[in-house]
Chain A
Amino acid sequence: MIRRVWREDFRIIGYYTGLVTIGVGLLMLVPMVTSLVFREWASALDFAISAALALLVGYVLALVSHTKSTPGLTHAMVIAAGSWLVAMVLSGVPYMLSGHMKSFLDACFDTLSGYTTTGMFLLQDLDHISQGLNMWRHLLTYVGGQGIVVLALTFLIGSTGGAFKIMVGEGKEEKLEPNVRHIAVLIWRISLIYLGVGTVVLGAIAMANGIKPYLAFFHGAYIFMSAWSTGGFAPYSQNMLYYHSSAMEIASMVFFILGSFNFALHYAVWSGNRKEILRNVEIVSFTITVLTTFSLVCLALMQRGVYPNAVALFRRGFFQLISGHTTTGQSNIYARTFVREWGPLGMLATTIAMAIGASAASTGGGFKGLRMGIIVKGIATDIRKLLSPERAVVTGHYHHLHDNVISDGVVKGAAVIVVLYVLIYVVGAVVGMAYGYPMADALFESVSAGSNTGLSCGVTQAGMPTLLKIVYMLEMWMGRLEFLSVFTLFGFIATSFRSMRRRKAAV
C-alpha cells in the first residue's frame, strides 16, 4: 500500500532541495570570478545575476520549508531527482543571458547534458563564448560527475541524517566509509587531487603544443574536468581535434578511463589493495567488451579502407571507441565522419560500447560493467547448474571488492536496470526514426544520450525537433540517475495529487 503524502514530506523535500540549490548558486561564483579575471564584464554580470537568483530560490525554499526532520528513502529519491531538475533550470540562466542559446529549452538541454556528464550541446557559436561560460560548462560536468548532491552534502549538510539515501538516489550507492559525509569528502578529495594533477599535466602538454601559458592552464583544467567526469565537453567546437596533439589525446584518455572506474575501486587502490584492479569484475568485463567492440571497429574501418595505416586507425578508432565505452564523448574526428566514413558496422560497434558504458558508482553512464559481469556470470552459473548432477550445489561468484555469491535476486536486479536502459535507448531511437532520421543515426544518438556519452553523428543540433530534444533530455536524466529516483519522483507527484483529492473529498 502506498502511503499518503503529508505537509511534512513537502517540507523535507523543499528544505533539502533548497540546500542543493544554494550549492548551485555558490558554484556560479567560480565562472563569475573567471570572467572577472579575463575582464569579461558583461559575462561576469550575467553570472552575478544567475548566482543571486539561484541563491534567492535556494534560501526561500530552505526558509519556507525549514524542518529538523531527516529524510526517509522516498524523500531521498525525490530530493535527488528533483534537485537535478531545479539545478538544470537555474544553471540555464547564464547560458540564456549569454545570447548563445536559441531557446530556454536549449539552455536546459545543455545544462542537463553537463550535469549528467553527457556532453551533447545545442549552444550556438561555441568558438566565441566567454571564458566564464566555458568554465561554467566544464564545472557543471565536473560537479555532475561527482554528483551535485554529493557536493551539497560535503559543504552544506553537517552529519548523516538520511543523507546516504540521497546519495543512493543519485547513483552513488557504494558505502566506502561509515559516515556519509566522510564518503562525500572522500569522493571530493579523490576528484580534487586528480583535478590538480590533471590540470598540470594537460596544461603542460597544451603549453608544449604552442598554446599561451595562461590559456594552457585553462585548457588543461577544462579538458581534465571533461575527461575525469566522462563528460565530453571541450572549449572549442572541434573538441579534441582543436589541439592536433596525440599527447593531449593520450593524457585525456588516461583520465577518462580512470574517471570511468568505480569510486570504490579507486578507494581500494588508494587504501593499498592494488590487486583489486586485476580481480574486479568490472575491470574484467570492461577489458573484454573493449577488446570485442574495438575488434569490430577495426574490422569495419579496414573493410572500408578508412585509414591509411595502423597508427591512424588506432589513434582515431581506439580513441573514439574508448571515449564511447567510458561514456566520455570526447572526439578526434568530425561528427559526420561516423556516417560518411565509419559506416553502419563501425557505428554499431561504437553504439554497443556506449550502451554498455562505464563502471557503477563512477562518473560514467550506460548499463555499467558490474551489471554486465553479474548477468554473464549468472547465465554461466545457470548453465553449470543444468550440466551438473541434480544433487550438486552449484554457486556462482563474482569479485567486486570482495567475493560475492550470485543469487537470483542480484541477477534479477541487474537485469531489470539493463532492460530499462534498453527501453529508453529504443524509445529515443524510435522517436528519431519517426522524424525521418536513418535507423543507424537515430539509434547511435539515442544510445549516446541515454548512456550519457555525448558522441554525436550529427543529429543533435539546435534545429532538431523539440520533442526529440525533450526525449533526449529524459534519457539523459533517467540514465544518469538510474531510474529509481526518477520513478519515485513520478510516483510521489501522483500520490500527492491523490492525497489532495482525498483531503478535498473529506472536507
Chain B
Amino acid sequence: MKRVCAVLMMLALAALITAPVCATAAQPPVLSTTELVENSYKWDGKTVSFKGEVLQDLMVREDGTWMNLSDDNNTAMGVFVPKGVATPTISHTEDYRTVGDVVLITGVFHRVCVQHEGQTDIHAVSVTVLTPGSAKANPIHPDRVVWFVVLAGLLGLVMWFYYRKPGRGTEH
C-alpha cells in the first residue's frame, strides 16, 4: 500500500512539475503578416505572437502607442500598445542607416478592430526586445565614383559643344 502511495505521490509531483511546461507549450504561435491577412477570419480575436523589426516612427497617442513591425519583404503589421502595457525601451527604429530593434509581441489579433474603425491590427499585451538594432553600413562603391567622374567629364564636354554656339538653349 505504501508503495502504491509513493508511486501516486511521485506521479502527482511529476504532474505539478510538468504543468507549467505544458502552459509554456500552449504559448500563442508566432505568425506572419501574410498568414494573418490570408487567414484573417481564423485568427480574428485570438491571442497571437508576432515578431518584426520596428519601423521608423513610434506614434504616441493619448491611449497608447502605435508601432509598425516589418516581418518580411514589403509586409508589415500595425501593433497597438495600450497605455499600461509594460514596454521595453526601443533603442533603434528602422531607417536607411539603421537596423531597427527586432521585437516579439504577444497580443490579440483583430481582423477589423472596432476601437480603430475597422483596421487590421494587433493589440499588444506584452512586448519583448529580441535583438537590439544597430547602425547599418551603406558603403560607397569605388567603381561608382569612377562611373560618376567619367559621365560628368563626358557631360561637360557635350555641354561645351552644345553651348559654344551663342543663343543655344534659348530658341523655340
Contacts and interface: CB of A to CB of B under 8 A. Distances in A.
Given A158-B170, A209-B59, A244-B119, A340 B37 contact: yes
Nearest to B36: A334
Nearest to A131: B96
Given A59-B155, A337-B40, A127 B57 contact: no
A316 B59 contact: no
Interface footprint category on B: 35 or more
A43 B94 contact: no
Contact of B119 (A56, A130, A158, A241): A241
A244 B119 CA distance: 8
B56 interface: yes
A63 B159 CA distance: 9
Interface string A283-315: 000000000000000000000001111011101
Contacts of B141: 42
A241 B118 CA distance: 11
Given A238-B78, A308-B112, A60 B61 contact: no
B60 interface: yes
A236 B96 CA distance: 12
A126 interface: yes
Given A43-B96, A124-B74, A313 B118 contact: yes
B76 A127 contact: yes
A316 B76 CA distance: 18
B19 interface: no
Q: Which 9 A-B pairs have the closest CB atoms?
A: A312-B118, A210-B59, A52-B151, A237-B74, A130-B96, A42-B138, A59-B158, A315-B117, A56-B155
12 contacts: A40-B97, A41-B138, A48-B148, A49-B151, A63-B161, A156-B169, A210-B66, A237-B76, A241-B120, A312-B112, A312-B114, A316-B117
Given A42-B138, A59-B159, A309-B114, A333 B120 contact: yes
Contacts of A53: 151
Interface string B48-81: 0000000111111100011010100111101010
Interface in A41-58: 41-43, 45-46, 48-49, 52-53, 55-56
Contacts of B55: 127, 236, 242
A60 B112 contact: no
Interface of A: 38-43, 45-46, 48-49, 52-53, 55-56, 59-60, 62-63, 66, 68, 70, 97, 123-131, 156-159, 161, 163, 209-212, 215, 236-238, 241-244, 246, 306-309, 311-313, 315-316, 332-334, 336-337, 340-341
Given A55-B155, A129-B96, A242-B68, A237 B118 contact: no
Interface of B: 33, 37-38, 40-41, 55-61, 65-66, 68, 70, 73-76, 78, 80, 94, 96-97, 111-112, 114, 116-121, 138-141, 144-145, 147-148, 151-152, 154-155, 158-159, 161-162, 168-172
Nearest to B169: A156
B94 A128 contact: yes
A59 B162 contact: yes
Given A210-B61, A241-B78, A244-B119, A49 B155 contact: no
A97 B94 contact: no
Contacts of B120: 241, 333-334, 337
A125 B68 CA distance: 14
B66 to A, nearest CB: 5
A244 B118 contact: no
Nearest to B161: A63
Contacts of B75: 237
Given A56-B154, A128-B94, A307-B112, A211 B57 contact: yes
Contact of A157 (B96, B119, B140, B172): B172
B68 A236 contact: yes
Nearest to A127: B70
B118 A41 contact: no
Contact of B37 (A39, A156, A236, A337): A337
Given A45-B148, A210-B58, A158 B116 contact: no
A158 B118 contact: no
Contacts of B38: 336, 340
A45 B144 CA distance: 8
